[in-house]
Structure 1
């Protein structure tokens, strides 16, 4: 496999931008969404995570279901997508999660419930005694409509064994997403870069995503996630540079022509780098992202949510056309 990272930086951007424009023209997508990080209490102690707390530790929290309902009403009543991920809580039964999804969907039927990473799905299977297929079926019946792509990190087993040995394997992550796709649940895929990985690890990760997409067609978007080392065991590392970010976005677009959308996740990239990434292959800024906690716990300096006018300005000042979408990329409004 050729290493696309060896291509000249600007040439790489041009190649990726051509693919992006062939697929989407000048359209650049965003969604009004709310991140509901329902607990930071987690039995898994991933070494790169600055969000995790033990039960009873200072700063630990859990949203009960009535709190979740109030949180959505207070923080983002006009959001069309609720993005739900959290820690692996040691004492909540699986019924807590199905009840939460059901309550949220009943209270907000117009909002898409995008919930639970593959790591959480595997954990729910473990605490319930159900198969992962049955876990997904029960969550779907309760109102789950999509899954995010978290927990993929880097698929390479040697790197994974250093940064997150507690997490499910890459093969397990892929199997859960394949099962979700078989159940009619669209998902996203992610990759964590900017830590101890090398170019070849990124290339192999992208190749695995491409192969699974070829098999199932169930990924809507791919999100390269820049690692934030602050408050983690890798705090001595320098964060990924702007060039690293843009090259990774571009390589992702070139490698994953069978995945419709590449996100420039402004929470991790920062608004200015995310804007530049729109000319390096990305076609989606994600969204308003009211109130993301996990990345900010690791030192992200981006805003804690953006208003629509700001997102539209980021897109239009890059010479592109902002398109508000729903969770499934149906167009809601085209700006200018």
Structure 2
């Protein structure tokens, strides 16, 4: 009788009390900007009510970004080439060398796209491509110099650690020397592309041809030492475990902690969900993106909590849609990213969402915030008087 009473009444209350006390301790440590461990982060993710996580993350956002505005950007994703030998299992965009649809973007195309970008109010090109086996450092430095010579006000947010690693391998150069040459030729900032999950077990399964996790992080650390501002990303919802997501977050935080004091380092973190339409990961391995809005909101809140040394957390409206992204603004996110005048890679795997400069501001206002146009360094911009609204085919 006593055993039955313990099992049915005392023990459940004891367990609930223990969880409540542990959560209260972790909540306070998060609010104190402590570095939580992988295990502690997972405990919060699995045990904390979503409302609590969003509240803690929102309080941290108010401290780290006290102006309270939601920033956004106008830029264009232009692909230097679609030729790639990395063979990522989640990418529908790349073409193998010699393919009939393979291309390398030439200057007349850049000029046309930049003129359109300026017309639509943009100030930046996000330049990314693939691991082209024949495009070395000279190709990129020559391209960057010419773009800067013809359009000195355009910022180049270009390449990413996997491409830097690929160039360094082709040229038999150090990461430092490649990054230094790219910066001198016009590189303004380095995207967090190709992070996926920073655990090599996962990378071998989904992107075996890219650099490993250690090299990705080493390149970012080298960029920070050269005072090149970077961002960090995480693509989740495929073959990774929950623990591997948290290892990823801790590794980002550790590299950020090593940056020079006068460097921005990782100025933003963007978690986004795997897009599975027609990808090899789905066709061959049967992997589908089963991420729910609730889970994405948890990841946004956890990102703010686990990365107290990264100031800006961006909601990926491109992959989760307007409504979920709006909720993220109440759960730790302070940035809505770019309207992306052009985006070809993620869209090729099924991301259908689109914004114009007007509709992104309307979405931010609907969520209860004031929109603020920014540049890549998170400096505020005024919307150009001559801006033209882009026509989008939905």
Alignment TM-score > 0.5, same fold: yes
C-alpha distance 169-93 of structure 1, shift in aligned 2 (>3 A): closer
Contact 1:42/1:88 (8 A) holds in 2:
yes
- 1:155 has 2:231 as partner: no
3-state SS of 2:141 partner: helix
Match of residue 237, structure 1, among 287, 291, 304: 287
Distance apart, 1:180 and its partner CA: 0.6
Mapped partners of 2:242, 2:129: distance in 1 = 30
Task: Give 1:72's aligned residue.
Answer: 114
What secondary structure does 1:205 align onto? helix
Structure number with the higher strand fraction is 1
Structure 1 residue 271: deviation in Å? 2.0
Task: Name 1:109's counterpart in structure 2.
Answer: 152
The match for 1:62 among 101, 104, 107 is: 104
Report the Cα distance in structure 1 between the residues aligned to 2:138 and 2:360, rounded to whole angstroms. 37
- CA-based RMSD of the aligned residues comes to 1.5
Deviation at 1:203, TM superposition (A): 1.0
Match of 1:258 among 302, 306, 309: 309
TM-score (norm. length: structure 2): 0.81
CA deviation vs aligned residue, 1:16-64 (integer Å, no higher than 9, x gap) = 1111122224211011111112221101111121111112324322212
Over alpha carbons, which structure has the higher Rg? 2
Residue deviations 1:280-319, cap 9 Å, x none?
A: 111111112110100011111112xx22211111111111
8 Å CA contact 2:83–2:96 kept in 1: the answer is: yes
2:338 to 267, 270, 287: 287
Structure 2 counterpart of 1:322: 371
Which residue of the partner structure matches residue 361 of structure 2?
Answer: 312
Partner of 2:90: 48
Deviations 1:38-91 (A, max 9, x none): 221101111121111112324322212332222221344431121111111122
| Structure 2: runs of 5+ lacking an equivalent | 1-38, 384-394
Question: CA distance change for structure 1 residues 58 and 76 in 2, over 3 Å: closer, same or farther?
Answer: farther
- Give the distance between the partners of 1:165 and 1:117, measured in 2 at CA: 16
Which residues of structure 1 form unaligned runs of 5+?
A: none
Q: State how far apart, in whole Å, the 2-side matches of 1:222 and 1:151 are.
A: 13
8 A contact 1:31–1:81 mirrored in 2: no
Deviates further, 222-231 or 51-60 = 51-60
* Deviation larger for 34-43 or 146-155: 34-43
Aligned to 1:39: 81
Name 1:90's counterpart in structure 2. Answer: 133
Partner of 2:18: none
TM-score normalised to structure 1 length:
0.94
Superposed CA deviations along residues 143-174 of structure 1, whole A, max 9, x for unmatched, are 11100001111112222221122211100000
* Alpha-carbon distance, 1:107 to partner: 1.8
Q: Partner residue of 1:99?
A: 142
SS of the residue corresponding to residue 281 of structure 2 reads coil
Identify the match of residue 275 of structure 2 among 216, 221, 228.
228
After superposition, give the CA deviation of every residue in 1:103-140 in whole Å (9 maximum; x if it has no partner): 11122211211101100001111222322211111111
Q: How many residues align?
A: 332
Task: State the alpha-carbon separation in 1 of the partners of residues 113 and 124 from structure 2.
Answer: 14
Q: Distance in 2 between matches of 1:327 and 1:157?
A: 29
- Of 268-277 and 206-215, more deviation after overlay is shown by 268-277
Deviates more, 1:68-77 or 1:22-31: 68-77
CA contact (8 A) 1:50 1:297 kept: yes
Q: CA deviation digits over 1:253-297, x for unaligned, max 9?
A: 111111010111221222222122111111111112110100011
Q: Deviations over 1:209-247 (max 9, x none)?
A: 111111115110011021011121232333222112111
> Which residue in the other structure is 1:273 paired with?
324
